[in-house]
Amino acid sequence: MFSLALRDDAVLRPLEVWHAEEFAAHLDRAREHIRPWVGPAFVTTDVEGARGTLRRYAERRAADAGGLYGIWLEGALVGGVMFTDFSAAAESCEVGCWLEPAAEGRGLVTPACEALLDWALVERGAHRAEWHCRADNARSSAVAERLGMTLEGTRREAWSFGGTRHDKQIWAVLAPEWRARR
C-alpha cells in the first residue's frame, strides 16, 4: 500500500471509499472550520455523504482526473491534500488542502503538497500546477507561497459562501520553476 512518511508521526496515503466512517468522523471535527474555504459538496454531514465524496474522488483518480490523499497524524485522519483537477492532456493540475483545527501549525500540509507537486510536475510531466483560494484565507495563501507559487491574479467575487461573494486568488508554479526549486 502507498504510504509516504511526512515525519515520524505523520503519513500521507490515498483516502479511499473504505475510509468513509473515519472520514465522516474527521469531518465532524473539521466541518465548521473548513466550510468557508472548501466546496460545499466536500463538507458532508454523515457517513453516506462521506462515502459519496470519497467515491467521486476515486472515480476521478481512476479517470486520471484528480485524487484525494489523507494525512494521518499519530494514526488519526486529520486532513488531506488533493488534486481537485488533473489533466495529462492539458499538462496541468490544481492542488488543494484542508486540515482540522488541531492539526494546523504542525508542518503537515506543505510536505504533503510537495509530494503531489513532485508527482505531477516531475513524474507525470505536467507543466503547470495551480492553487485556488479565497483571497482572505491567509493560511492557504501562505502554503502557496511556501510552495514557491506565484500569485497570478485575483478573480473578483468568484467564490460564494454564506450569501456573500468573495475574491478568489489563483496561484501557480511551472514545472521548470518547480524543478529548479527542488
For the chain, percent of residues with pLDDT exceeding 90:
89
Domain that holds residue 123: 4-181
Q: What is the dihedral of CA 132, 123, 147, 14, to 10 degrees?
A: 70
Work out how many domains the chain is built from and give that number. 1
What element of type H or E holds 49?
A: helix 47-62
Q: 34-50: buried (b, 16+ CB within 10 Å) or exposed (e) per residue? A: beebbeeebbbeeeebb
**pTM of the model as a whole:** 0.94
d(CA 107, CA 148): 16
Rounded to the nearest 5°, which phi and psi values hold at 170? Answer: -120, 115
Band of the pLDDT at 1, cuts 50, 70, 90? low
Maximum Cα–Cα distance for the chain, whole Å? 44
Give the angle 92-140-54 at the CA atoms, nearest 5°: 65
CA nearest neighbour of 61 among 18, 122, 125, 16 = 16
CATH number at residue 127: 3.40.630.30
pLDDT tens per residue across span 58-93: 999 999 999 999 999 999 999 999 999 999 999 999
The per-residue pLDDT for 98 is 96
Evaluate whether 90 touches 97 at the Cβ level (below 8 Å): no
